[in-house]
Amino acid sequence: MPVPRPLAPRRDFPALRGRPGRPAPAYLDSACMSLTPQAVLDAQEEYYRDYPGCAGRSVHRWAEEVQRRYEEARETFARFFRAPGPQHLVNVRNSTEGLNAVAQGLRLKRGSRVLLTDQEHNSNLVVWQRLRETRGIRLDVLPLPEDRPFDEEAYLSALERRPALVSFFHASNLDGRTLPARALVEAAHDHGARVLLDGSQAAAHQPISLRSIAPDFYVLSFHKMLGPTGTGLLYVGPRDLETFPPWFVGGETVETTEYTTHTLRPPPHRFEAGLQNYAGVLGAEAALRYLGRHRFEDLPAHLEGLQRHLGREIEGLEGLSRLGPPRPRDRGAIFPFVLTGLAPEDVALFLDQGHDVFVRSGMNCVHSWYQARGLPGNVRASFHVYTGRQDVDRLVRGLRELRDRVPARPVRGDRP
């Protein structure tokens, strides 16, 4: 498979322009936060410059304009993620807020079971541990296989314990594996469980159809898909849309109030308390429009090409061990690895300071998985639409130079 050029021009991303005395970086930390194209910056500036009003409150032209554009953005989100309708999509700050909203809104009773995988992001673990402490829920953890993305038999066996909720990532930020979302939702529903999917990584790197997957809840963050920080979505499915309680209330959530009672607005507005991040939401819409113009549907194949190229180039590099599924197509946008004898943070600093290559190091907000294996973490390279062969080649050159300088000598905790 030939290594494709970036799907999006690097010149569209101000952060990828060189600075005086420094070349443009090879940015390989997109699983943490993607870069922002100029079109997104322009959309945010336009709001503050041309119509900085409050949606749904005043009737002057600025307020009317932001109201119209805010709701049009929600319709764009619904089309992009193939949701049953815009009313199912709630604007939140990020996936973490969405996960906490679901955890609080479900009002799980003492003894209720929540099923997780053993690779959940801290945001999809700590919230349930807190409910175990405060409400007495029970947590079951499903170990994932090392040689393939998912073990269906083990999952079906775990469902026999009748969890009230299955709360899984859709794609892992640790090793990039994607779970068979539609199949696991169907199986969970057959066993009477609701399903919450953390789509932070999946939505950023592959087309998503919420109508097809049909989860009860789905969360995502726009800062991983070229959008602004502090923007994300919570999808609430048809079963819960009218009955799910708001986690914050106040301005914008109510039709009217009296001294003794109030009437909530219909979904999704009842969930969006207070003045919203209009500039951020409009920037997120610009990000999705940008992705649509630059062959987002081809991103999975592009990522596989980068994975294959990187795998070939590092073959034989002494002391390098890769984590995660062996097949490139199963690793999505993420390439996690360790170099024997070197701390992950030292590798990342060398790549930054010596080669202007930016990667992630550490436990990737999945501390539980590393702690259970006695591992200090790893290095993680991750890709997006602006990543090309030249970025991968700079990473490889840096790793080869580092290996030449520091020969492989095993140290405690080095194993993958």
Q: Are residues 57 and 206 in the same domain?
A: yes
Q: What is the pLDDT of residue 1?
A: 55
**Does residue 274 lie in a domain region?**
yes
**Does residue 370 lie in a domain region?**
yes
**Does residue 1 lie in a domain region?**
no
Report which secondary-structure segment, H or E, holds 221: strand 217-221
Residues 6+ away with beta carbon under 8 Å from 280: 44, 222, 227, 228, 229, 230, 231
Of 249, 264, 293, the position where a domain reaches its end is 293
Q: What is the pLDDT of residue 412?
A: 53
Q: What is the pLDDT of residue 46?
A: 98
pLDDT-based confidence at residue 359 (cuts at 50, 70, 90): very high
Question: At which residue do the structure tokens 């700590």 appear?
Answer: 126
Q: Are residues 268 and 130 in the same domain?
A: yes
Q: Are residues 125 and 175 in the same domain?
A: yes
- Position 100 pLDDT exceeds 80: yes
Q: Are residues 234 and 178 in the same domain?
A: yes
The backbone torsions φ and ψ at residue 131, rounded to the nearest 5 degrees and listed phi first, read -70, -30
- Position 414 pLDDT exceeds 80: no
**Does residue 129 lie in a domain region?**
yes
Q: What is the pLDDT of residue 180?
A: 98
What tens digit of pLDDT does each residue of 238-296 get? 999 999 999 999 988 999 999 999 999 999 999 999 999 999 999 999 999 999 999 99
Alpha carbons 204 and 296: distance in angstroms, whole number? 9
Q: Are residues 138 and 51 in the same domain?
A: yes
Alpha carbons 331 and 382: distance in angstroms, whole number? 10
Q: Are residues 271 and 398 in the same domain?
A: no
What are the residue ranges of helices labelled H in 10-149? Answer: 38-50, 61-80, 95-106, 126-135
Q: Are residues 154 and 263 in the same domain?
A: yes
Alpha carbons 377 and 343: distance in angstroms, whole number? 8
Q: Are residues 348 and 206 in the same domain?
A: no
> For residue 167, what is the domain's CATH number?
3.40.640.10
* Count of structural domains, the chain: 2
Alpha carbons 262 and 255: distance in angstroms, whole number? 8
Partners of 74 in beta bridges: none
**Does residue 34 lie in a domain region?**
no
- Position 350 pLDDT exceeds 80: yes
- Output b/e per residue, 2-12; b: 16+ Cβ within 10 A: ebbebbbebeb
> For residue 19, what is the domain's CATH number?
3.90.1150.10
Q: What is the pLDDT of residue 413?
A: 52
Q: Are residues 81 and 214 in the same domain?
A: yes
Of 248, 267, 293, the position where a domain reaches its end is 293
Partners of 254 in beta bridges: 264
Of 293, 318, 351, the position where a domain reaches its end is 293
**Does residue 379 lie in a domain region?**
yes
Judge contact between 103 and 95, C-beta under 8 A: no
Q: What is the pLDDT of residue 4?
A: 65
- The residue that leads in pLDDT, 196 or 57, is 196
Q: Which two tokens stand for residue 377?
A: 């973490």
Task: Report the catalytic residues.
Answer: 365
Q: Are residues 155 and 244 in the same domain?
A: yes
Q: Are residues 119 and 242 in the same domain?
A: yes
Tell me the residue range of the domain where 309 lies. Answer: 10-28+297-404
**Does residue 5 lie in a domain region?**
no
**Does residue 416 lie in a domain region?**
no
Among the listed residues 158, 157, 114, the one whose alpha carbon sits nearest the alpha carbon of residue 135: 114
Mean pLDDT in the chain?
95
- Position 304 pLDDT exceeds 70: yes
Q: Are residues 242 and 309 in the same domain?
A: no
